[in-house]
Amino acid sequence: MKSVKFFPRVLVVALLWGGAVSCQSNSPSVQSTQVEGVVNENVNVEQFADLIENGPEGLLLDVRTDREFSMGHIKGASQIDFYRNDFQEELAKLDPDVPVYVYCRSGNRSGQAAKMMKQMGFKTVYNLQGGIGAWTRTQPVAK
């Protein structure tokens, strides 16, 4: 994952001016919420691939089971099983200031995980819409 040394310019400018930023997109494939410096977005495969390659350096997180992860995952991903009893405790060990790029099989578990992370105070979370199922139709996976 390529490191980017700046935050999205719109966010920085808004924070400096003390204004609130409302992210809206004309694209139905992006659902974004931004409140007081918090970004929580559902993004499509192309946007997700661009973010993990060119966006701010962060954590690529697979929330599928060990078995699912071993069958193939996005290169460079770390894994925490959403179904583990200590899933939220494991998330709490992560730095909430580091952007998280999260995915699962279909986007359901990762969407729930993204909401959970937002409630836990994570500043930036991007959820892959359609999960690895959508990813594998256009992008390679590691085994």
Q: Which domains does the chain have, with CATH numbers?
A: 40-135 (3.40.250.10)
How much is the pTM?
A: 0.74
Residue tagged 């390659």 (tokens): 53
Predicted confidence at residue 48, as pLDDT, reads: 97
- Using the predicted structure, report yes or no on whether residue 85 has a pLDDT greater than 50: yes
The tokens for 47 are 């946007």
Q: What gap in Å lies between CA 91 and CA 88, rounded to an integer?
A: 5
Contact status, residue 78 vs residue 62, Cβ threshold 8 Å: yes
Whether residue 26 is predicted with pLDDT greater than 90 in this model: the reply is no
Q: Is 23 part of the annotated catalytic residue set?
A: no
Total number of residues shown for the chain: 143
Please state the separation of Cα 60 from the chain's center in Å.
Answer: 7
Q: Which of 62, 79, 76, 58 is nearest to 125 (CA)?
A: 58
Among candidate residues 104, 128, 132, 134, the one labeled active-site is 104
Whole-angstrom Cα distance, residue 105 to residue 96? 23
pLDDT tops 70 at residue 136: yes
